[in-house]
Amino acid sequence: MIKVAKFGGSSLADANQFKKVKDIILRDSSIVITVASAPGKRFSEDNKITDLLYLSYAHLKYSVEYTKMFVHIEDRYAKIKKELNLKLNLGKEFDKIKSKMKKGMNKDYLISRGEYLNAKLLAEYLGYTFIDAKDIIFFNFNGNINIEKTTRAIEEVFKCNSKIIVPGFYGSLPNGEIKVFSRGGSDITGSIISRAINASVYENWTDVSGILMADPRIVDQPKKIDFITYNELRELSYMGANVLHTNAVAPVKEANIPINIRNTNEPDNPGTMIVNNNYEILEEHSISPITGIAGKKDFSILSIYKYPMSEEPNSLLNILEVLKKYKINIEHISSGIDNFSLILSSEHLEKYLYEIIADTKKLCNSIEIKVVRDISLIAIVGRNMVHKPGTSGKLFAAMGNNGVNIRVISQSSDELNIIIGVANENFEKCINVIYNNFIV
Ligand code: ASP
C-alpha cells in the first residue's frame, strides 16, 4: 500500500503543527509522497502567508512600500526554523526572492514561494527529499495540466526516491515560468500525484475530522460522514459544503483512488472516506437514508406567464437565449400549464434584471413576468434514497409539521438528491428540522 498525504495551511502553520505532521508521517510508512501547503492561520485573526504574498505583489505593482509587510513573512518562517532547530539558509532564499521582486518578476513566482519554503523546511525536518513542484507539475500555456509529461516526471522522481516532500499549489509552464493553480490548489497537486503513482489512498490532512452531515454553524454538533461517494460529494459541494478544491476530485475519481479527509489535530480519528460507488465495503456503511444536507441562500424565482402558453410555444427557448446572452446560470426549471419558473442566483439576476425583462418581452408577445426574491435552496443527498419510497414524503411532512412552506421541489432522476426551495428566513430552521428528522 502506498499513500500520498497532503497537509493544508493550518496543519503547517507553526513549529508545533510541524511536530504533529512529523508524527503522522513517521508512524505510517506507507506515506511515500507528502504535499505541503504554505503556512496558514495559527488563530482566527492571523494571516495566511499566501494572502500576504498576494498583498506584497499588489504593493509592488502599484509601487507602494511593501518591505515592512514582507518582514512578517520572513518572521513566520524564521520562527519555525528556529523552534525546530533547522539549518535551511532562509537569508539566502529571501535574498533571491527580494532581488527578483526588485527586478520585476512573474506574479505566480512570488505567490508560490509560500509552499516552496514550507516544503523545504518540512523536507529538512523529516530528512526527506525535497522535489520542486516546477520539475514535476507541468502546465500547458492554456492553463491545463500536461498529464503525460507530468505523470512521466512524477514516476521518474518516485523511482529514484522513496520519501519525498513536494510543495503544493504550483507547477511550471512550457517556458519554465512558475504557474499557480487557483486558491486552495495544493489539493490538486496531491490529487495529480496520487494518480501518477497510482496511490492506494490520497490522504488530505486538514483541521476538521472529516466531512460533516450538515453545516456546524447551523446544526449543533452534526455527525461526521464516514463514507461518501464522489457523486454525493459533488452534490453537497455544489450546494455549499466546502470540502476540497473542486478540481482535485477528477484525477483520483477517474483512477478509482479514495480520498481520506483527516484531522492533523486528531490523528486517530479515521475521518471521512470519499470513494466511488464500486468501493467494496461501501455497502456496510450505508445505514442512514441520507448522507448529508447542504444549502445556499439568495436565489430568485423568475416566472413567465402566458394564457394560453400554446400561443407562445417558443417562450422557454426565448428566455433561455436571453439568459445565455447575460451568462446567467439556471439552477432549476419548473413548469405549469401556462407558466414556467426559473430558479436563478439573485446576485446574477439583479445585475441584468431590467435588460432580461425588456429582451424577453421583445421576443414573446403579451407575457407576464414575476420575480420572487429571497429563496434558499436546500439539498438532501444520499445514495440510499435510490429506489426507496418514502424519503420525499417524510421530508414534506416534516416541513409541513414545522410550518415551513415549500416554494420549489426538484429531484434528479438518479434520485441522489431532493432539493427544496424555501424562504430565506426559514433556511436555518429547515436544515435543523431535516437533520433532526433524518439523522438524529
Ligand atoms: N496556499 C494556497 C492558498 O492559500 C494554496 C493551498 O493552501 O492549497 O490558497
Instruction: Please write the tens of the pLDDT for every residue from 70-83.
Output: 999 999 999 999 99
> What pLDDT score does 202 carry?
98
Is residue 212 within 8 Å of residue 242, measured between CB atoms?
Answer: no
* Mean per-residue pLDDT over the chain, rounded: 93
d(CA 263, CA 284): 23
Residue range 362-392, pLDDT digits in tens: 988 888 999 999 999 999 999 888 878 888 8
Q: Is the pLDDT of residue 234 over 70?
A: yes
Q: What is the pLDDT of residues 294-341, one digit of tens each?
A: 999 999 999 999 888 888 788 889 899 999 999 999 999 988 889 999
Question: So what's the pLDDT on residue 197?
Answer: 97
Distance CA 168, CA 9 (A): 10
* 145 in any annotated domain: yes
- Tell me the per-residue pLDDT of 258-301, one tens digit each, with 9 for 90 and over: 999 999 999 999 999 999 987 777 777 666 789 999 999 999 99
Ligand 1: residues within 6 Å at CB?
A: 8-9, 37-38, 48, 50, 114, 168-169, 183-187
Residue nearest to atom 5 of ligand 1 (CA): 184
CATH number of the domain that 324 lies in?
3.30.2130.10
The best mutation among 11, 50, 111, 179 to test binding of ligand 1, ranked by most ligand atoms within 8 Å of the C-beta, falls on 50
- 412 has a pLDDT exceeding 90: no
| Cα within 13 Å of Cα(117), Cβ side | 33
Please identify which residue in the block is written with the cell numbers 513566482. Answer: 109
Please tell me the residue having the least CA distance from ligand 1 atom 8: 184
Question: In 127-166, which ranges are continuous DSSP H helix?
Answer: 147-160
Quick check: 120 and 129 in contact, CB under 8 A? no
Output the pLDDT for position 104: 82
Q: DSSP string spanning 64-115?
A: ---HHHHHHHHHHHHHHHHHHT----HHHHHHHHHHHHHH---HHHHHHHHH
Cα pseudo-dihedral 41, 47, 50, 53, rounded to 10: -160
Final residue of a domain: which of 174, 207, 240?
207
Q: Which of 159, 178, 207 is the last residue of a domain?
A: 207
Residue 39 Cα, ligand 1 centroid: separation in angstroms?
9
CB atoms within 10 A of CB 251: 20
User: Three-class SS of residue 261?
Assistant: strand
User: 230 pLDDT exceeds 80?
Assistant: yes
Alpha-carbon span 392 to 410, nearest angstrom? 10
Mutate to test the pocket of ligand 1, among 10, 11, 37 (most ligand atoms within 8 A of CB): 37
* pLDDT greater than 90 at residue 435: yes
Among 6, 7, 48, 242, name the best residue to mutate to test ligand 1's pocket (greatest count of ligand atoms within 8 A of Cβ). Answer: 48
Q: 347 φ, ψ to 5°?
A: -60, -45
* Separation of CA 302 and ligand 1 centre (Å): 37
pLDDT bracket for residue 90 (50, 70, 90): very high
What is the domain extent for residue 397? Answer: 292-438
CATH number at residue 21: 3.40.1160.10
Residues 26 and 170 in one domain: yes
Same domain? 166 vs 307: no
